[in-house]
Structure 1
Amino acid sequence: MPSLSRLLSPAKRPSIQRDAVALRLDDGREIEVLRVRDPRARRIRLSVSERGARLTLPLRASLASGDAFLQQHRAWLAAQIAAHGETLPLQRGVTAQLPLRGASRPLRWESGRFSHVREDADGALVFVSPDHAGPAALQRALREFYEAQARADIGRWLPAYLPGLPRPPRRIRLKSMSSQWGSLAPDGTLNLDLSLVLGAPSAFEYVLVHELCHLIHADHSRSFWREVEARCPAWREARDYFRDNGRRLKADLHALLS
């Protein structure tokens, strides 16, 4: 007879299973799709994010039906990947350009004692690193460069807005954010997505203004938007910019730093 504890214990759900499947697109490119068998899924679903393509299968779906679904949606998948951008992972001596402030900057590689990125007077970027530097060291150096560039931009813009605020932000943090572009924590910490420095400076500045205005109004009321409008009259254009380019910016940062 089963024990009482066994009878009362919740049934274990089947675990989520993951593997990868190769898919050849109509233009001849071969991409890797993450295939996930999820017991919570109710239907076959295909999605694309900054992390790549993902095919989700419910437990009852066969692998053959999943493959057929992929083939049926190849054109849609190619369009979504294009919208997210096609930046390749950072590779020493291979990566020839980097996104920065709405443009692709030419990149030159040089040997040196430690990994770092600098900007030449002509706007070109130079990535200095030891010949034996691994991916983690290169990604760390690029992240530090992007953070320094973002903080330089914020340092130019912020003084003009501080006098009109009830208080300054407690601190400003730059990090990779999956969906948001910025947020204001209850303690006054202002968080900004690092991928903002890859895009148009005007759009980056709008996000900064947006979050600063939350120091005045914590909601998105008409009063809040009047404060944004007074400081950034072109905020609608910035919003449209993110609608058209936002997914690509986040995908580019993920590809370069992950």
Structure 2
Amino acid sequence: MRLLTGKPQAPPRTVSRETLAIDLGNGRVVEVLRVRDPRARRIKLSVDERGPRLTLPMRASEIAGQRFVIEHGDWLLAQIAQADSDATRLQPHVSATIPLRGAELPVRWQVARYLRLQLNEDALEIAAPEAVNATALQRALRDFYEGQARADVGRWLPKYLPGLPRAPSRLRYRVMSSQWGSLAPDGALSLDLSLVLAPPPAFEYVLVHELCHLIHADHSRAFWREVEARCPDWRDQREYFRASGRSLKAGLRRLIAADE
């Protein structure tokens, strides 16, 4: 009918994003990412490792959104505190520590012509030019973490393969917003890179969890029996992620400046 009558079609509604500074009325001002989403049906406030996010339906007013944030101010501040991390970006040739396997690893610097990272028994040694590029340093640190994660999984995976119907088709490490791992229908396994910052038993639990999806694709009782047979303390590890997961993800993002 629009073609016959000559009426122009309404422009498609798209997602828009804007960062706002909202005064909570208690002396605290919080930066919130406001997202207008045509798919949203209600106002929603959430917090992840990237910070607070306010999702608004297209018909909701800006004033209604700000009022919603203020009304939930105490909850918001508590969530921000839970998601906070002590990890900061490395400053070239400045003494520091970085998180690895549930502990803080000292960083030792030396001046060199080329950037190189090497893990010794008690420290990460970084050889770098005096004016090393920050982006190159963050990329090298990400590569370092991925190498350590691959080494851990390489030690654990062989003992689980005999009890699986098939091996994962491939394995990749990503910076995930909310998940810790995922298994695609073709058997491709993805793991969150920040897992290497966690204590090894917690990391190994996530690996076991995803491998058990090769047996049961759901979260049925049968699935959890498979998990428990391989990881009897899985409940403890799950509680660890509930308490510290946001901090892990935030710490990794700060260290490697991830935008995924």
Residue type at the aligned position of 1:197: V
Distance 2:190 2:33 in 1: 30
Distance 2:3 2:183 in 1: 51
How large is the RMSD of aligned CA atoms in angstroms? 3.1
**Alignment correspondent of 1:172:** 171
Other structure's SS at 2:152 match:
helix
Distance 1:36 1:240 in 2: 30
1:71: Cα distance to partner? 4.7
Q: Which moved more, 1:225-234 or 1:17-26?
A: 17-26
Would you say 1:186 and 2:180 are equivalent positions? no
Q: Which moved more, 1:23-32 or 1:105-114?
A: 23-32
**Alignment correspondent of 2:251:** 252
Residue type at the aligned position of 2:150: R
| Residues 1-258 of structure 1 aligned to structure 2 (within 5 Å) | 4=4, 6-7=6-7, 10-13=9-12, 16-22=15-21, 32-38=31-37, 44-57=43-56, 66-67=65-66, 69-87=68-86, 90-93=89-92, 96-122=96-122, 124-257=123-256, 258=258
Answer whether contact 1:114 1:130 (CA < 8 A) is retained.
Answer: yes
> Cα–Cα, structure 1 residues 183 and 60, in superposed 2: closer, same or farther, change >3 Å?
closer
1:42: Cα distance to partner? 5.8
Other structure's SS at 2:232 match:
coil
Residues 26-78 of structure 1, C-alpha deviations (whole Å, 9 max, x = no match): 99886533234556656554321122122345566665665555455443322
Q: TM-score, normalised by structure 1?
A: 0.81
Answer whether contact 1:175 1:191 (CA < 8 A) is retained.
Answer: yes
1:162: Cα distance to partner? 2.0
Other structure's SS at 2:20 match:
strand
Distance 1:25 1:86 in 2: 22
Residues 201-238 of structure 1, C-alpha deviations (whole Å, 9 max, x = no match): 10111111122222233333333322222211111111
Q: Which moved more, 1:93-102 or 1:225-234?
A: 93-102
Residue type at the aligned position of 2:144: F
Distance 2:127 2:134 in 1: 13
> Cα–Cα, structure 1 residues 18 and 210, in superposed 2: closer, same or farther, change >3 Å?
closer
> Cα–Cα, structure 1 residues 117 and 72, in superposed 2: closer, same or farther, change >3 Å?
farther
> Cα–Cα, structure 1 residues 39 and 154, in superposed 2: closer, same or farther, change >3 Å?
closer
Answer whether contact 2:171 2:188 (CA < 8 A) is retained.
Answer: yes
Residue type at the aligned position of 1:143: R
Consecutive unaligned residues of structure 1, counting only runs of 5 or more, are none
Q: Percent of aligned pairs with the same residue?
A: 60
Distance 2:3 2:184 in 1: 49
Residue type at the aligned position of 2:135: A
Residues 121-150 of structure 1, C-alpha deviations (whole Å, 9 max, x = no match): 22x323333233333212211111111111
Distance 1:128 1:26 in 2: 48
Residue type at the aligned position of 2:168: P
Distance 1:15 1:226 in 2: 44
1:194: Cα distance to partner? 1.0
Distance 1:114 1:126 in 2: 13
Distance 1:193 1:74 in 2: 30
Answer whether contact 1:92 1:109 (CA < 8 A) is retained.
Answer: no
